[in-house]
Amino acid sequence: MIRVENISKNLGEFFLRDVTLEVNDGEYFMILGPTGAGKTILLETIAGIYPPDKGKVFLDGRDITNIPPKSRNINVVYQDYMLFPHLTVAQNIGFGLRSKKIPKEEVERKINESADLLGVSHLLHRYPGTLSGGEQQRIAIARAMVMEPKALLLDEPLSALDTQTAERLRQELSKIHLATKTTMIHVTHSFEEAFLLGDRMAVMDKGGIIQVGEPNEVFRKPGCKFVADFLGVGNLFKGESTIDRDVSYIDIDGVSFVSTTLKSGDVYVSIRPEDILVSKQRIESSARNSFQGRIESIVDEGTIVKLIVNIGIPFVAVITKQSLDDMGLRNGGSVYITFKASTVHVFK
Amino acid sequence: MHIKGGNLRTEMMLAKLKESKFKIITLFFSLLLAAFILVQLICVVTHTTPQALITSIASPEIGFAIRLSLITSVISTILCIVISVPAAYALARYNFRGRSLLNTLLDVPLALPPLVAGVGLLILFSTTSFGKGLAEAGIVFVYTPLGIIIAQFFVNVPFMFRILRSTFQGINPRYEYVAQTLGCSESQAFWRVTLPMSKNGLLAGSIITWSKAIGEFGAALMVAGATRMKTETLPISLYLNMTSGHLNLAIAAATILIIISLASLFVFERYGGFARVF
């Protein structure tokens, strides 16, 4: 277990302020926050790169605040790989094993094992400079995993990759975690990553931790306006999808959505509050999703108004203040919400 | 028809000339400068017959000068590396009070005329108790080859320092962080990662420092003097033989210096193009 207690660190531009956090053994823990929130310093403090100004770091109950990084057995993977350009892929992966007193055959076996795990065995004799971003990041992860770390710290590991590569690597991170049960702390600014990978997550801003919890819970019940705004999605649900004749039907607690994204099984669904049409009567249109509901709350946000409409599940819709007045909507009133199947974003 | 076509072409050429007059003028200056440099080099190399040049280069005096120049320049370059590597690393990586003052101070020898540097070194090693103490311990700098080495070191160390500093600055410290989490101490991370990654800068710095050391005259003259077959490096030999009228020997020394300069310029351009010296 990793425990960070009242850590403060000031690096000028970036800082941490009184951060306390607990990550359990074998947990996939996500840290979500905007640029400059202090996510990277938190990781680097856990890794021991620099001592905190204040506070303590514990690993399995042992105070490691003053232990140098080389003796912590905690490894880091950065967004831009940081592969050593003067070494081959095999030498990169084996870099950390050289410091340990291990027989040569054992080192070779471990390098091959780790390369296999990440699917980079065919690259062992190449130099990093000639490889694609996805390949480099796999090697960086292999270089960390070969150390059998107590915890693997990932600093926006997918941010520099194109969407497809990132998605594939994300699935593999999930597999690796399942297979090795390594404690992972993964920093990101993508809510999708946090949602899909995290057992639990923390939201950070301005050097502090704002909310900790299971992703579902954090997304459903943002603890404060910052979290809600940062997460940016009002409508995020978990459901089960079945495909039928070029559309998918997603069942969410008894409410069924139609989507043009074809993914089946357990899925997550998001619909942007701006994409929703609110009306007082049912409207005949090409939009495949239309539900009747009751207005649970009306939140004035300046130029726009946020409606929470209960259609069996709470649904957020954003309309202008003018339409709110023109339609004469009130708390508790009945409305219809309508949205096109193509606006229902499905991911897994 | 033929004549007409020819006229048209001439006109077009004239128009083109007019259009790029500015280009032609600037180009002319660059060619003029190149010609000036080339003529100078040719003047030196062709001043004597090849026969005389070869005889002179084979003479014991030039042989001595070549050896002394090589030995002193290699040692002073190694000294520059040994001192500059940690110094440049500190100033590239760490933030501390007085850092910019220290940076400025370390650049001073670059701006100082070598003769002034030489006078300073001479006074330090001949009149202060520090210099006298060293001399008593058998380490004599004044009027010895050791003086040449210290003069070359003092004048050239800023080149090495600056190239290495910008090289280290160009390497993301996170490479070292990763190495540290992979079981390296701070110094191991430096040896296994940062230094190998700096090899181009190190090579470029060594080449420029070494070639400047080979040509060092003013400071070396002040500290070590100009004694034939004792402190006679190639530039000192050139100076001694020029003033004493042994033109062939002087030309021989100059020719060797030219060859060394051109060779090191080539290597520097090839490997050190990225390093900012000034």
As assigned by CATH, the class of the A2-231 domain is alpha beta
Cβ–Cβ of A95/B179 closer than 8 Å?
A: yes
Chain B residues 162-221 with CB within 8 Å of chain A: 172, 174-175, 177-185, 188, 192-193, 196-197, 199
Cβ–Cβ of B178/A78 closer than 8 Å?
A: yes
Predicted pLDDT at A99: 79
Residue B278's pLDDT band (cuts 50, 70, 90): very low
Cα–Cα distance for residue pair A95/B193, rounded to 1 Å? 10
Q: Which of A48, A68, A82 sits opposite B178 (nearest CB)?
A: A82
Predicted pLDDT at B277: 43
A279: alpha, beta or left? (left if phi > 0; alpha if psi -120 to 50): beta
- Which residues on chain A are in Cβ contact (under 8 Å) with B191? none
Distance from the Cα of B166 to chain A's closest Cα (Å) equals 18
- B36 and B174: one domain? no
CB A218 within 8 A of CB A227: yes
Distance from the Cα of B179 to chain A's closest Cα (Å) equals 8
- Which residues on chain B are in Cβ contact (under 8 Å) with A44? 177
C-alpha dist (Å) from residue B242 to A60, B62, B96, B115: 78, 13, 51, 20
Q: Which stretches of chain A sit within 8 Å of chain B by CB? A: 44, 47-49, 68-70, 72, 74-76, 78, 80, 82, 84-86, 95-96, 98-100, 143-144, 147
DSSP letter at B172 equals -
- B31 and B73: one domain? no
What predicted TM-score, i.e. pTM, was given to this entire model?
Answer: 0.79
Q: pLDDT tens digits, chain A, 348 residues: what are they?
A: 999 999 999 988 889 999 999 999 999 999 998 888 899 999 999 999 989 999 999 999 999 999 999 999 999 999 999 999 999 999 999 999 987 888 999 999 999 999 999 999 999 999 999 999 999 999 999 999 999 999 999 999 999 999 889 989 999 999 999 999 999 999 998 877 888 899 999 999 889 998 899 987 887 666 666 776 676 656 878 889 999 888 999 998 888 999 988 888 888 888 888 888 999 888 888 888 999 999 988 888 777 888 889 888 888 888 988 888 888 888 888 999 999 998 888 877
Q: Identify whether B278 is part of a domain.
A: no
Predicted pLDDT at B47: 86
- B15 and B77: one domain? no
Residue type at position B42: I
- B113 and B62: one domain? yes
Cα–Cα distance for residue pair A234/A217, rounded to 1 Å? 13
Strand partners, A154: A77, A186
Q: Which of B172, B183, B196 sits opposite A82 (nearest CB)?
A: B172
What is the number of CB-based contacts under 8 A between chain A and chain B? 60
Cβ–Cβ of B184/A70 closer than 8 Å?
A: yes
Structure tokens that stand for A331 in this block: 């708390």
- Which residues on chain B are in Cβ contact (under 8 Å) with A99? 182-184, 188
Q: Identify whether B214 is part of a domain.
A: yes
- Average pLDDT of chain B? 90
Distance from the Cα of B199 to chain A's closest Cα (Å) equals 10
- B73 and B134: one domain? yes
Distance from the Cα of A71 to chain B's closest Cα (Å) equals 7
- In chain B the beta strands, taken as DSSP E runs, fall at none
CB A259 within 8 A of CB A250: yes
Cα–Cα distance for residue pair A201/A21, rounded to 1 Å? 10
Q: Domain residues for B36?
A: 2-43
Predicted pLDDT at A233: 59
Predicted pLDDT at B85: 97
Predicted pLDDT at B97: 92
Residue of chain A minimizing CA distance to B185: A70
C-alpha dist (Å) from residue B36 to A128, B31, B43: 46, 9, 11
- Domain tally for chain B? 2
- B143 and B6: one domain? no
- B206 and B101: one domain? yes
Q: Who wins on pLDDT, B241 or A232?
A: B241
Q: A39-50: buried (b, 16+ CB within 10 Å) or exposed (e) per residue?
A: bbbbbbbbbbbe
Q: Among B74, B207, B72, which Cα is nearest to B147's?
A: B72
DSSP letter at B190 equals I
Three-class DSSP category at B48:
coil
Q: Which of B179, B185, B196 sits opposite A68 (nearest CB)?
A: B185
Q: Which of A78, A85, A95 sits opposite B182 (nearest CB)?
A: A95
Predicted pLDDT at B144: 94
Q: Which of A47, A48, A86 sits opposite B196 (nearest CB)?
A: A86
pLDDT tens for residues B97-123? 999 999 999 988 888 999 999 999 999
Q: Which of B174, B188, B192 sits opposite A82 (nearest CB)?
A: B174
Q: Which residue has the tokens 């940690």?
A: B86
Fold of A235-347: OB fold (Dihydrolipoamide Acetyltransferase, E2P) (2.40.50)
Q: Identify whether B19 is part of a domain.
A: yes
Question: Which residue intervals of chain A bear CATH 2.40.50.100?
Answer: 235-347
Rg, chain B, Cα only = 25
C-alpha dist (Å) from residue A107 to A85, A96, A123, A339, B123: 21, 10, 17, 57, 59
- B27 and B55: one domain? no
- Which residues on chain B are in Cβ contact (under 8 Å) with A76? 177-178, 181
Q: Identify whether B276 is part of a domain.
A: no
Cβ–Cβ of B185/A70 closer than 8 Å?
A: yes
- Which residues on chain A are in Cβ contact (under 8 Å) with B196? 84, 86
Predicted pLDDT at A202: 94
Q: A195-214: buried (b, 16+ CB within 10 Å) or exposed (e) per residue?
A: bbbbebbbbbbebbbbbbbe
Residue of chain A minimizing CA distance to B95: A11
Residue of chain A minimizing CA distance to B197: A86
- B56 and B174: one domain? yes
CATH of the domain at B215: 1.10.3720.10
Q: Among A306, A334, A337, which Cα is nearest to A321's?
A: A306
Burial category of B228 from C-beta neighbours within 10 Å (exposed 0-12, middle 13-18, buried 19 and up): middle
Question: Which residue intervals of chain A bear CATH 3.40.50.300?
Answer: 2-231
- B57 and B193: one domain? yes
To which H or E segment does residue B266 belong? helix B247-271
Cα–Cα distance for residue pair A97/A94, rounded to 1 Å? 5
Predicted pLDDT at A239: 87
Q: Checking DSSP bridges between strand A28-32 and strand A200-205, what pairing results, if any?
A: parallel
Q: Which of A49, A85, A95 sits opposite B177 (nearest CB)?
A: A49
Cα–Cα distance for residue pair A247/A263, rounded to 1 Å? 9
Cβ–Cβ of B175/A86 closer than 8 Å?
A: no
Predicted pLDDT at A344: 87
Cα–Cα distance for residue pair B125/B24, rounded to 1 Å? 55
- B187 and B61: one domain? yes
Q: What is the 3-state secondary structure (H, E, C) of chain A?
A: CEEEEEEEEEECCEEEEEEEEEECCCCEEEEECCCCCCHHHHHHHHHCCCCCCEEEEEECCEECCCCCHHHCCEEEECCCCCCCCCCCHHHHHCHHHHHCCCCHHHHHHHHHHHHHHHCCHHHCCCCHHHCCHHHHHHHHHHHHHCCCCCEEEEECCCCCCCHHHHHHHHHHHHHHHHHHCCEEEEEECCHHHHHHHCCEEEEEECCEEEEEECHHHHHHCCCCHHHHHHHCCCEEEEEEEEEECCEEEEEECCEEEEECCCCCEEEEEEECHHHCEEECCCCCCCCCEEEEEEEEEEEEECCEEEEEEECCCEEEEEEEHHHHHHHCCCCCCEEEEEECHHHCEEEC
Instruction: Choose the mutation target among A46, A72, A95, A137 for the interface with B, i.e. most B CBs under 10 Å.
Output: A95
